[in-house]
Chain A
């Protein structure tokens, strides 16, 4: 068990910098999810913590000790890879015990630890199978088991669920989270899936283009996104962003006044989550619906706002039957759920 500190960590490949200084302090036992679109540098950041990539600048500390120059095996970490990276010619038992065998543990101690981990992961019946004789979910468990038996102080997960089908992903998500809570081991988890990030994280790091846009608890990020990117990346369907103006303390989209704000005049980006609008006959916004997606629990209405011609998505709770495309509905917005972002920097305006 350990803390992990990232201090202005940067990564350069040749002259291109791909990670532009990430700093955060991860507490003992915390589950941190690094989330972002592909190519944002999240995997690179994780691999730097693992020691598989060198650190170009800055410092990584595990339990207060600088590990920049330490080999992966000496960092007291365990990693679960996207493709599981199980050794194909070894049985499940050998796969899980390989790290311990190299560490020079006696055979019976290895067997005991492997048995314990196998019981924990319900793999006890499969110990003599080869990886190719296992299903995707079972392979995933073996990869987890290989990490657990080493009793590391930090778990690193590199998109471990992306090769599983949707149903299994939900199940494994719960299992990983429960396991981590039970073992209390500090974990860093990389994913591009914002649902995984929301459901698993104690805190999440939202990354974009090598920058940590926001670090905070899932609900913090959801309720008070720091940047336009974080606002749009977290939440599904993603937040509607509309150009708006502030003039004499009045917030307007086109000619419609949405509320009062004590802010200087100018143009801003206004964000409204689809789930924060309701149908109201006297609502200020009028939406021409082009497509309705009934999901059962709610209905997604995609269309254009009549006032500004912007595309807009509304999530109406329950079943809503549209009277053919082109129907116009009026929407009301809860003022408490309106987010404003600077139109130049994309940062949140308080």
Chain B
């Protein structure tokens, strides 16, 4: 949204070299852009339409392209009854997991980057490279041993089981390390002369200076957590602990039963809403942070 707004602002004050783009070309680029948006948006629209009609209307060809009159019924049914478990429960599970992963990852990577950049301890670079190395190991590669460990701790079907295995982030550690390296050494020295112990410096100086990075990472990591599919699918056998992204898949009947398409589609639309809210609300903070940013 903001990108579109930015694009418009740029259009109002075109760079000298772009003047000739006005006129016919302007219309052409706009038409192409609108077409692109339509192509991307069409499946979402279909899902929305399907979530507002009856099962019979979906099954009958051709599929309707305009919303029906069952919006409240279908969404209420999805939220409070669902197929296996109410969607509200799954939304809550997903929210806890995504926030837990995002906050946990940010806290841990801030602290480890702080340690790596500001403290001289034996094996400092070894630890950094070990962290860096884990970047090369995606969840899927270590999923079997991780499952063993989590099962051994009795963390199946629990929030801790959903969150902890995904909570360390080499990427975020690396990003914060790079950011901390750009903070002038004199600032740390000034804080030392002012009497700030290391953690005081971290909380009073480094943390406020990193807030734009933290906001940006929160957006990325929240969506990462929200979209986790394989891991929750493995460790949650109890429908009460299902997250929404995997829960949608669980809604498909296994045998010859008929899928309850309006409810499934309503769930899909509901699953999209929290990440969109996070992106839009954090984007404002992110931009404000950029405007305020000083170093």
Contact = CB atoms under 8 A, between A and B. Distances in A.
Interface of A: 50-52, 71-73, 77-79, 81-83, 85-89, 98-99, 102-103, 130-132, 146, 150
Interface of B: 184, 186-187, 189-196, 200, 204-205, 208-209, 294-295
Contacts, number: 63
Contact of A79 (B187, B193, B200, B294): B193
Contacts of A86: 190
A50 B192 CA distance: 10
Given A78-B193, A87-B190, A98-B196, 19 more contacts: A50-B193, A51-B193, A72-B189, A72-B192, A73-B194, A73-B195, A79-B193, A81-B189, A85-B186, A85-B190, A87-B205, A88-B294, A88-B295, A89-B209, A98-B204, A99-B193, A99-B195, A102-B194, A102-B200
CB-CB nearest 4 A-B residue pairs: A73-B195, A99-B194, A85-B186, A85-B190
Which of B195, B200, B204, B294 is packed against the most chain A CB atoms within 10 Å?
Answer: B195
5 contacts: A50-B193, A73-B195, A73-B196, A89-B209, A102-B200
A95 to B, nearest CB: 9
A81 B191 CA distance: 12
A82 B186 contact: yes
A79 B193 CA distance: 7
Nearest to A71: B192
A88 B193 contact: no
B184 A85 contact: yes
B189 A52 contact: yes
Contacts of A73: 192-196
Contacts of B205: 87, 89
Which of A50, A86, A102 is packed against the most chain B CB atoms within 10 Å?
Answer: A102
Contacts of A131: 294
B200 A83 contact: no
Contacts of B295: 88
A102 B204 CA distance: 10
A82 B19 CA distance: 46
Given A102-B200, A131-B294, A132-B294, A87 B187 contact: yes
A150 B192 CA distance: 14
